[in-house]
Structure 1
Amino acid sequence: MWSRSFRALWSARAVSYLGDSMGLVALLLYTQGSEGEALAVALLLLAGDCVPGLFGPFTGVVGDRFDLRRVMVACELAQGAIVLSIALTTPGLPVLLLLVALRGLAAQVFQAASRSAVPSLVDDAHLARANAALGAGTYGLEALGPLVAAALIPLVGVRGVLAVDAVTFAVSALLLTLLPRLRATETHEVARGFLAASWEGVRYMAHTPVVRAVAVGFVAVVAFNGVDDVAVVFLAKDTLGGSDSAAALVYAGVGIGLAAGYPLLTRYAGRAPAIALILAGFAVNSAGNLVTGLAWAVWAALALQVIRGLGISALDVGVNTELQRTVPPGLLSRVFGNLYGAVGLAAGFSYVFGGVLLDRTDARVTFVVAGTGGLVATVLTGLALRKRR
Structure 2
Amino acid sequence: MAIWGTRDFRFLWGGRAISLLGSWLLVVAVPAHMYALTGSVFATGMTLAAEYLPPLLLGPVAGILVDRWDRRRVMITADVLRAGAVAFMFIGTPTAIYAAVVAESVGAVVFRPAAQAHVPAVVGTGRTLTSANSWNAVTDGVVRLVGPPLGGVLFAWAGFEVLIGLDVASYLISAAAIACTRRRPGPKANRQKPALTKPGRLERRLLPLTGVFLAANAALSALLVPFGMRNLGGSTQIGLVLSALGAGFLAGAVLVRWSDRLQLRTVLAGAQLATAGGFALLFSARELGVAVVAAVVIGAFGSVTVVAPQIAVQRSVDNDQLGRVSAVFLAVEALATLIGAIVGPWVAQSVSLHFAAMGAAVIAAVGALVGAVTVPRVMLPAKRSNEQADSPCVNPVR
The Cα of 1:241 is off from its aligned counterpart by 4.9
The one-letter code of the counterpart of 1:93 is P
The Cα of 1:93 is off from its aligned counterpart by 2.1
The answer on whether the counterparts of 1:224 and 1:371 sit within 8 Å (CA) in structure 2 is yes
Alignment of 1:1-389 (within 5 A): 1-2=2-3, 3-87=6-90, 89-90=91-92, 92-123=93-124, 124-153=126-155, 156-186=158-188, 208-238=200-230, 240-262=231-253, 264-265=254-255, 267-386=257-376
Distance 2:367 2:101 in 1: 32
The answer on whether the counterparts of 1:50 and 1:348 sit within 8 Å (CA) in structure 2 is no
TM-score by length of 2: 0.86
Distance 1:249 1:306 in 2: 11
Name structure 1 gaps, 5 residues minimum.
Answer: 190-206
TM-score by length of 1: 0.88
Q: CA offsets per residue over residues 113-169 of structure 1, 9 Å max, x none? A: 111111111131221121111121233224312233244335531111111110000
Distance 1:184 1:273 in 2: 32
The one-letter code of the counterpart of 1:81 is G
Describe the shift of the 1:326–1:268 C-alpha distance in structure 2 as closer, same or farther (beyond 3 A). same
Distance 1:12 1:265 in 2: 25
The one-letter code of the counterpart of 2:177 is L
The Cα of 1:234 is off from its aligned counterpart by 2.5
The Cα of 1:27 is off from its aligned counterpart by 1.2
The Cα of 1:99 is off from its aligned counterpart by 2.0
Q: CA offsets per residue over residues 11-34 of structure 1, 9 Å max, x none? A: 111001000001222212221223
The answer on whether the counterparts of 1:21 and 1:145 sit within 8 Å (CA) in structure 2 is yes
1:192 counterpart residue number: none
Distance 2:181 2:378 in 1: 37
* SS of the residue 2:61 aligns to: helix
The Cα of 1:55 is off from its aligned counterpart by 1.8
The answer on whether the counterparts of 1:278 and 1:318 sit within 8 Å (CA) in structure 2 is yes
Distance 1:45 1:111 in 2: 18
Q: CA offsets per residue over residues 185-215 of structure 1, 9 Å max, x none? A: 227x9xxxxxxxxxxxxxxxxx822111111
The answer on whether the counterparts of 1:17 and 1:139 sit within 8 Å (CA) in structure 2 is no
* SS of the residue 1:179 aligns to: coil
Describe the shift of the 1:29–1:234 C-alpha distance in structure 2 as closer, same or farther (beyond 3 A). closer
The answer on whether the counterparts of 2:268 and 2:305 sit within 8 Å (CA) in structure 1 is yes
The answer on whether the counterparts of 1:209 and 1:388 sit within 8 Å (CA) in structure 2 is no
Describe the shift of the 1:377–1:253 C-alpha distance in structure 2 as closer, same or farther (beyond 3 A). same
The answer on whether the counterparts of 1:221 and 1:286 sit within 8 Å (CA) in structure 2 is no
The answer on whether the counterparts of 1:288 and 1:308 sit within 8 Å (CA) in structure 2 is yes
Distance 1:387 1:274 in 2: 7
Describe the shift of the 1:154–1:223 C-alpha distance in structure 2 as closer, same or farther (beyond 3 A). closer
Q: CA offsets per residue over residues 74-96 of structure 1, 9 Å max, x none? A: 11111011111212x22x32332
The Cα of 1:320 is off from its aligned counterpart by 1.3
Distance 2:101 2:301 in 1: 30
Describe the shift of the 1:269–1:15 C-alpha distance in structure 2 as closer, same or farther (beyond 3 A). farther
Name structure 2 gaps, 5 residues minimum.
Answer: 192-198, 380-398
Distance 2:181 2:250 in 1: 27
Distance 2:327 2:16 in 1: 17
Larger displacement relative to structure 2 (159-168 or 240-249):
240-249
Distance 1:59 1:281 in 2: 30
The answer on whether the counterparts of 2:29 and 2:152 sit within 8 Å (CA) in structure 1 is no
The answer on whether the counterparts of 1:229 and 1:251 sit within 8 Å (CA) in structure 2 is no
Distance 2:315 2:9 in 1: 17
Describe the shift of the 1:241–1:20 C-alpha distance in structure 2 as closer, same or farther (beyond 3 A). closer
Count of equivalent residues: 369
The answer on whether the counterparts of 2:268 and 2:372 sit within 8 Å (CA) in structure 1 is no
Describe the shift of the 1:237–1:138 C-alpha distance in structure 2 as closer, same or farther (beyond 3 A). closer
Quote the RMSD (CA, aligned, Å).
2.4
The one-letter code of the counterpart of 1:278 is L
1:194 counterpart residue number: none
Q: CA offsets per residue over residues 285-344 of structure 1, 9 Å max, x none? A: 222222323324232122112101111211222111100111111110111111111111
